[in-house]
Structure 1
Amino acid sequence: MHLVQQLLFVIAFAAAVYLFTRKAREIRRNILLGRDVQPYDNPAQRWRNVLLLAFGQKKMFRNPLVAVLHFFVYAGFLIINIEILEIILDGVFGTHRLFAPLLDGLYPVLIGCFEILAVLVLSGCAIFLVRRNFLKLKRFIGHDLDGWPRSDANYILITEIVLMVLFLTMNTADLVLQSRGADHYVAAGPFWISGMLTPILSGLSDGSLVALERGCWWLHILGVLAFLNYLPYSKHLHIILAFPNAYYADLRPKGKMENMPAIQKEVQSMLNPEQATNDTAVEGIPKFGAKDIQDLTWKNLLDAYSCTECGRCTAACPANITGKKLSPRKIMMDTRDRAEEIGRVINKQGTFQEDGKALLRDYISEEELRACTTCNACVQECPVSINPLHIILQLRRHLVMEESSAPAEWNMMFSNIENNMAPWKFAPDDRDQWATGN
């Protein structure tokens, strides 16, 4: 019987790892569809961002209560899953609490800490469920979350609650069996939380307790494996991608926009032909801006897959606050959806062939792009270092410079800048006359 269980466990574990790895490779391929960019400067600052922003969740602490609860859920869930190593080894070798005799008196302390974290995770998830579904915070009821995105968040919270309940129930049944000297249940307790719950199960027979403990053990590990394979399809992929995304974040001042060096060289060559050399000659001027995800950078696509859909960017967006259509959160969700769509085409055909769609217009409208004030509020607010503005600017650059599509007011400003080197319709020589009263 034990051999059959070991075999079933190995099959389930191998299948889960294979499926997760296959999907992870697809996501990596989708991200690398973007243009190359090399954000590798200043590694010390980048590692500091990883520690403070990704792991320490520094930006979350602007709202201390929510930040503490989120940290309990995030860190607690990760730390508790250290015990998964023991469960995996128990499943493979057919043992029970393999580390208990090895760690001796330290083992119940570790399990006790895990149980406290489990209670914190359970409590935090329950509060977040109420907060998300009953308090009706504006950023949680936006139409860009209609359908799957809203359900996704609830599924994850409910799953984490179930996993924590299974973990505590398993330990409680185990403790009762330990106290009765049941076979294979070595004395490893007492555990801090489940030790207080043993009276609830003390009336059950040994057979019922074994069935309960084994059932919770299997459901817990199968739930974790299912959760592992749910992550790549969920916004909760940020549990993994927040760390590389924080590392590769743009370290330039937020007000600094990206120029196109090749175009700058071309303009310089036109203005000063005598200074043009082979070194400054432009070879293969790239297209202006971006129309589809292949025109964005891989960091833009990593941003899209790292998005937590928390809505802090949209809540801070002045365009959105004043009722305009722009939602930075939707920009990121649309970018990820388009990358996934292209990925499915590649999976089916082996390579991508034009499907008559593009990120611009089919997913993100001109109205959304033109509403952006480039204030960088969305970039400042994002807890995982995502930059929706960079995508907006690249799409808008394509509209203006590739399609000559801009509102009349913009075209007037462009003309003034070209002719007068300023947005205003005044000759440079006359610009300071306001100071003289003329």
Structure 2
Amino acid sequence: MEIIQQVLFALLLGVALFLFSRKAFQIRRNIHIGLDEEITDNPAQRWNNVLLLALGQKKMFRNPLVGILHFFVYAGFIIINIEVLEIVLDGILGTHRLFAGFLGGLYTFLINAFEILAFLVIVACAVFLVRRNIVRIRRFTSKDLDGWPRSDANYILITEIVLMSLFLTMNASDTLLQDRGVEHYAAANTGNFVISQYLQPWLDPLNNATLGFIERLCWWLHIAGILTFLNYLPYSKHLHIILAFPNAYYNRLEPMGKMENMPAVQNEVLYAMQPELAPADAAPPAKFGAKDVMDLSWKNLLDAYSCTECGRCSAACPANMTGKKLSPRKIMMDTRDRAEEVGNNISINKEFKDDGKSLLHDYITTEELRACTTCNACVQECPVSINPLDIILQLRRQLVMEESNAPQEWNVMFSNVENNFAPWKFSPDDRDKWTEAV
């Protein structure tokens, strides 16, 4: 019987890791659909961002209570899963609590710490469920989240509560079986644990066979749940658990108010003003801005896949506050959805076949792009260093410079800049005339 369990566990582990690896490589390929961009400067500052923003969740603590609760969920789920190493080894080798004898008192200390974290995870997830579904905080009720995204958040919170409850129940039944001297359990001799001991009175009336069944059931459901969650991650907003780290590392270090200009455009203006500087073989720029995900950089697409859908960007957006259609969160969700669609196209056809769609117009509308004030509030608020504004600017460049699609007020300003080198409609020679009236 034991060898059958070991074989089943090895098959479950192998299938789970294979499926996760396959999807992970697909996401990596989808991110690299974007244009090359070299981001290698100042590695010390980049590692500092990883420690403070991704690992330390610095921006989350602007709201201390939410930051602490989120840290419990994050730290608890990550740290408790260190215990998965023991479960995996036990499953493969057919042992029980393999590290208990080796670590001794340290093992009991670690499991006690894991149980405290598990309890805090349950409490924090319950609070977050209340905030989303009963208190109904505005950024969680936005139409951006209609359908799957809203359900996704609830599924994850419920799953974490279930996984932590299984962990505690498993420990409670295990330590009861140890106390009763049942073979295979007594050798661990860990003693009771700090939280699960309070579940023992509910389990104590059960006989050894039933208690052993509950312990094994919780063990299997716990590890199967973790492996299922691992494969759910790539399809969920919770992929940020993994991608927040590289995204923080590759975060642009320039001041947020600095916009990335197109050198080709700058040269065009320079050559128009000083034709003698233009090289004889100067060619016009091939393309302005971005129309589809292939025109964005790989960092833009990494941003999209790293999005937590928390809505802090949209809640801080002045355009969104005043009822305009723009939602930076939706910009990122749409970009990710389009990248997935293009990736699936490539998987089916072995290369991208034109599907008659594009990120601009089919996913993100002109109205959304025009509403942006380029204030950088969305960039400032994002807890995982995402830059929705960069995507907005590139799509807007496509609208204005490739499609000549701009409001009349903008066109007047563009004409004045082109003819008068200023937004105002009067000759550059007359700019200082106002001083004569002083």
- Fold-level match, TM-score > 0.5? yes
The equivalences for 1:20-169 within 5 A come to 20-169=20-169
TM-score using structure 2 length: 0.97
Instruction: Give the CA deviation at 1:5.
Output: 0.3
Instruction: Return 384-393 or 191-200, whichever deviates more.
Output: 191-200
The aligned residue for residue 256 of structure 1 is: 258
- Alpha-carbon deviations, 1:263-302, whole Å to 9, x = none? 3234434443433458xx6467331000000000000000
- What is the root-mean-square deviation in Å for CA atoms of aligned residues? 1.3
Instruction: Give the CA deviation at 1:391.
Output: 0.3
Contiguous gaps of at least 5 residues in structure 2: none
The aligned residue for residue 220 of structure 1 is: 222
- Report the residue type matching 2:337 in the other structure: D
The aligned residue for residue 352 of structure 1 is: 352
- Alpha-carbon deviations, 1:194-229, whole Å to 9, x = none? 123222211110001100000000000000000000
Give distance in 1, aligned partners of 2:173 and 2:426: 82
Give distance in 2, aligned partners of 1:353 and 1:437: 65
Contiguous gaps of at least 5 residues in structure 1: none
Instruction: Give the CA deviation at 1:384.
Output: 0.4
May I ask how many residue pairs the two structures share in their alignment? Answer: 436
Which secondary structure does the structure 1 equivalent of 2:217 belong to? Answer: helix
Give distance in 2, aligned partners of 1:383 and 1:437: 52
The equivalences for 1:29-428 within 5 A come to 29-185=29-185, 186-277=188-279, 282=282, 285-428=285-428
Instruction: Give the CA deviation at 1:190.
Output: 2.5
Which secondary structure does the structure 2 equivalent of 1:304 belong to? Answer: helix
Give distance in 1, aligned partners of 2:284 and 2:52: 41
- Report the residue type matching 1:428 in the other structure: P
Instruction: Return 358-367 or 415-424, whichever deviates more.
Output: 415-424
Give distance in 2, aligned partners of 1:377 and 1:63: 16
Give distance in 2, aligned partners of 1:71 and 1:175: 29
- Alpha-carbon deviations, 1:38-82, whole Å to 9, x = none? 111111111111111111111111100000000000111000000
Instruction: Return 79-88 or 38-47, whichever deviates more.
Output: 38-47
TM-score using structure 1 length: 0.97
- Alpha-carbon deviations, 1:292-334, whole Å to 9, x = none? 0000000000000000000000000000111100000000000
| Residues 429 and 284 of structure 1, relative CA distance in 2, 3 Å threshold | closer
Instruction: Give the CA deviation at 1:434.
Output: 3.7
Give distance in 2, aligned partners of 1:437 and 1:382: 49
Percent identity over paired residues: 69
Give distance in 1, aligned partners of 2:58 and 2:338: 30
Instruction: Give the CA deviation at 1:258.
Output: 1.0
Instruction: Give the CA deviation at 1:261.
Output: 1.4
Give distance in 1, aligned partners of 2:282 and 2:19: 45
- Alpha-carbon deviations, 1:158-181, whole Å to 9, x = none? 000000000000000001001011
Give distance in 1, aligned partners of 2:213 and 2:363: 51
